[in-house]
Structure 1
């Protein structure tokens, strides 16, 4: 399930250096690697990173890694990243900022490590679908490492601009996932045996595996209204000659 638009809004070309901040299970790292990038998956969760490293190796065995591309993992804190200034052509931060109290410190670090003229893609849960989840269930967000805030789009973009980044495009994604999480929150986030939850999950897996035209068309039509994620793309201004 890819949130960022790697085809037009956030192009990744062979040989580019890509940092996936808060990589989690690595979905965006894997996509960047398939496109020939030199990828660093960065996260605090060592278990997730071990899985990502295993998948990087499996992709290489299966011939999915182009010549010159590579994928590595690194453990660390996004508020103080161990990278030199101006290190990466592209930086992804997908569904991470809503977990961190010091979100502006992370934004400052993202600005620091991306190259002048480089691009940044940030996504967070969209405001109103997230509000519904919070109203239905305390356990959805009141857990260790859970969501600590709900962003307004203007608030997120404003903070990123104050960090020095210039937005150039935004959109919403994953409309088909909003009802799934509303269902989960309504019946209990741990109640995976609920018939409605099981049926909807089966639909989502089918959609992700097959990408049929009917669901792709439906989600694209619904994203502006009910997309679960808000995505913004930004550029670090180039240094003047």
Structure 2
């Protein structure tokens, strides 16, 4: 299930792509299949191990184009092991809401992007997320949970503060918002007949992509979309601070060996 629109982000073969807070790698996999050189980064050791395993399976199955490469590494998003200005595209999906010092993480994104590079940042949308918080403390108030809710203009302002120019936004996953409201209402750790049925619907939608649910989500995304996706670009000619230049090997070769 992808949150980022790869056509809007303009991911092309031969680009270097950094997937921050990769989880189990869903966005890294798509970039790899599109012919990019990908580094997936997460703080969780298990997440990195799972992503690395699946990247290997994609390569073994011949699903990655010739010339592409991919790896996964455990790292702190506030101090990325990537040289200044070495990455064409950055994806930070559903991760900033977990980081206390999100401004430093955003500054790191700006640092590693090449001039002219682009980033896609996704976070829980304000309205649906506020409902979840109102219904359940267990949904967010836990170790590693969500510590803030972004408004769209606030996220764009923080991107602009580190020198990244917002270029557009949209919402995604409208069908998931009611599911999480339901989970929060009955208890996020409790399964009921209704939550199981709704989950089966989401799995069916994910695996079969039927016309009915795909159309319904496109119509509902502007109103109920659970995720906010903001795109931004680093202006051509802008260079980042030199602080991270000695933290990793230079260029795409360093990414490929991660």
What TM-score, normalized by structure 1, do the two folds share?
0.97
- Distance of 2:12 and 2:159 partners within structure 1: 24
Tell me what 1:216 maps to: 214
The ranges of structure 1 where at least 4 consecutive aligned residues each deviate by more than 4 angstroms after the TM superposition are: none
Query: In the alignment, what sits opposite 1:121?
Result: 120
Q: What is the CA–CA distance in structure 1 between the aligned matches of 2:177 and 2:100, rounded to whole Å?
A: 24
* Distance in 2, Cα, partners of 1:11 & 1:57: 24
Measured against aligned partners, the alpha-carbon deviations of 1:163-214 in whole angstroms (never above 9, x if no partner) come to 100011100000000011001101111113x011100000000000011111
- Give the root-mean-square deviation of aligned CA atoms: 0.8
Match of 1:30 in 2: 29
- Tell me the equivalent position of 1:6: 6
Q: CA deviation at 1:63?
A: 1.3
Aligned equivalents of 1:83 and 1:100: distance in 2?
19
Is residue 15 of structure 1 aligned with residue 14 of structure 2?
Answer: yes
Question: Matches of 2:61 and 2:73 in 1, distance apart?
Answer: 23
Equivalent residue for 1:204? 202
Tell me, what secondary structure is at the counterpart of 1:135? helix
Aligned length: 238
Unaligned runs of 5+ in 2: 239-258
Equivalent residue for 2:243? none
Structure 2 CA distance for aligned equivalents of residues 109 and 54 of structure 1: 27
Q: Distance in 2 between matches of 1:215 and 1:64?
A: 27
Q: Higher relative contact order by CA 8 Å / sep ≥ 6: 1 or 2?
A: 2
Q: Secondary structure at the match of 2:6?
A: coil
| Unmatched 5+ stretches in structure 1 | none
Instruction: Tell me the TM-score normalised to structure 2 length.
Output: 0.91
- 3-state SS of 1:168 partner: strand
Q: 2:193 aligns with which of 192, 195, 200?
A: 195
